[in-house]
Structure 1
């Protein structure tokens, strides 16, 4: 029989990051990445995914985690920073990555596994699908925070009316990016991604993009994913909860809060897509050099 402590842990595990950018957000990350994959990466990805596109499998991990077979992966979608929001935000792997694992080590693990030719085709396919998803997850600030189960236990509103009640994590997963993009469909994600790519190439992100991949070595294990997690976590103190929980609890976040948060959410999606494209290029190069 499960103890109360185990049951509580299990509930927390599945509550944390219930959506993780939402399907539209993850598809956006994948579409951006596809613009930055070179020929070798496109061939490698198509082979491993048996012809499927990164965007088409971008949310697979969110569905898989709720199956009996995928239950083990629930904790891989986030890292629980036990910091002191809003006074100090930081990532400490020894402190924050629990026994069940976390997104930082999951990226490192599946990056290694997708290159292993002694694994089955299914195992390598799953590894790649995890990578595509987790490089999106790790850019969502509340996927790098422990406070109130990554914001899932912070009740807020999105618009007026009795049906507007939701939680802070869901706001960042869905309402903010979907409002930015103008919808939640795959077609919306593709159009949104094109606009972001334009800004990466010649717009507001042009001078930032190199810093997004300043750590880009797939041979350093968890080193680069930790850098990305710390980057996302910093926004918990500066943008997500700059004035603490009480400042947002029970309030409508669809107006002034959205105006401040939206540019950061868009930037984080851009980072996830750009990093994913470069990461897949490096994986394909490593496999082809053997």
Structure 2
């Protein structure tokens, strides 16, 4: 059993990570779709019906979940969509005053691309292909922004250079992989699991306040979450030296972080619904 666990840990640690992996993006997309107005959902369905115009047969879009994950799938098409690689995150230093100017130079960051793709989605004069792509990018990037290590870091590539273990999973794991995948999957699936359960935890009366604000406001919120939870959970001083050893996110820590992960994804879905309604209603 010990040898099996070690082998599994090495295999998982070597696997490429996609933002929030599939489950996180699927969940943000589904919550956004669930909370959008009926007319908005109908227009989303009509756009998805034209998804073949993207000509990405290895990355089909049949549902809002597919759309929300499509930009990560499209990374596998290499040069064709390589221009979008810097759009999935913004490395805003958690140990300096919040400022998006440098990380978002020329619009190459996740918050700028949320705003851009919301405008493209709303523009009915554009070819349908462009609007389908904008729908996918918008749903995906709102999810990305709500993964704290896509919104803030400490000059370590969003935690990719911060070696850490997730329980028995070690090897090449790092803080980014833990939050992007293992912790996200655990948080979403923790009973009661799934998008409907996550949004049910947010009282209806509180949702308008969560949906309010600007993309910059949401960026600041998730930047603060990176400092407080992603780094602060493993370091007494999030802005202190990175540990020389490999700290471990153990079971007790995971249980404390599950509500944080669930709240990030629910908030992302609530805000996605607002943006979809604004673009399509």
TM-score with structure 1 setting the length: 0.78
Which residue number in structure 2 is paired with residue 251 of structure 1?
247
Instruction: Report the alpha carbon displacement of residue 275 of structure 1 after superposing the two structures with TM.
Output: 1.0
Please tell me whether the aligned partners of residues 17 and 181 of structure 2 are also in contact (alpha carbons under 8 angstroms).
no
Q: Measure, in 2, the Cα distance between the counterparts of 1:249 and 1:238.
A: 20
Deviations 1:85-136 (A, max 9, x none): xxx5x53121321346101110111111112233221111101100010110
Please tell me whether the aligned partners of residues 82 and 96 of structure 1 are also in contact (alpha carbons under 8 angstroms).
no
Which residue number in structure 2 is paired with residue 62 of structure 1?
72
Equivalent residue in structure 2 for 1:112, among 107, 119, 122: 119
Which residue number in structure 1 is paired with residue 165 of structure 2?
157
Compared with structure 1, are the counterparts of its residues 122 and 249 closer, same or farther at alpha carbon in structure 2 (3 Å cutoff)? Answer: farther
After the TM superposition, which parts of structure 1 deviate over 3 Å for at least 4 consecutive aligned residues? 245-249
Is there any run of 5+ residues in structure 1 with no aligned partner, and where? Answer: 1-16, 216-223, 286-290
Which residue number in structure 2 is paired with residue 214 of structure 1?
212
Which residue number in structure 2 is paired with residue 266 of structure 1?
262
Please tell me whether the aligned partners of residues 59 and 133 of structure 1 are also in contact (alpha carbons under 8 angstroms).
yes
Q: Measure, in 2, the Cα distance between the counterparts of 1:254 and 1:123.
A: 44
Does residue 228 of structure 1 match 2:226?
A: no
Does residue 131 of structure 1 match 2:131?
A: no
Equivalent residue in structure 2 for 1:81, among 70, 92, 103: 92
Q: Measure, in 2, the Cα distance between the counterparts of 1:278 and 1:176.
A: 26
Aligned length: 247
Compared with structure 1, are the counterparts of its residues 182 and 93 closer, same or farther at alpha carbon in structure 2 (3 Å cutoff)? Answer: closer
Equivalent residue in structure 2 for 1:238, among 203, 212, 228: 228
Please tell me whether the aligned partners of residues 153 and 226 of structure 2 are also in contact (alpha carbons under 8 angstroms).
no
Q: Measure, in 1, the Cα distance between the counterparts of 2:116 and 2:67.
A: 19
Please tell me whether the aligned partners of residues 65 and 71 of structure 1 are also in contact (alpha carbons under 8 angstroms).
yes
Which residue number in structure 2 is paired with residue 145 of structure 1?
152
Q: Measure, in 1, the Cα distance between the counterparts of 2:251 and 2:194.
A: 21
Compared with structure 1, are the counterparts of its residues 196 and 247 closer, same or farther at alpha carbon in structure 2 (3 Å cutoff)? Answer: same
Q: Measure, in 1, the Cα distance between the counterparts of 2:171 and 2:256.
A: 20
Q: Measure, in 1, the Cα distance between the counterparts of 2:220 and 2:244.
A: 23
Q: Measure, in 2, the Cα distance between the counterparts of 1:247 and 1:265.
A: 23
Q: Measure, in 1, the Cα distance between the counterparts of 2:171 and 2:206.
A: 36
Please tell me whether the aligned partners of residues 91 and 229 of structure 1 are also in contact (alpha carbons under 8 angstroms).
no
Instruction: Report the alpha carbon displacement of residue 146 of structure 1 after superposing the two structures with TM.
Output: 3.9
Equivalent residue in structure 2 for 1:173, among 165, 169, 180: 180
Give SS of 2:131's match. helix
1:85-100 aligned within 5 A: 90-99=97-106
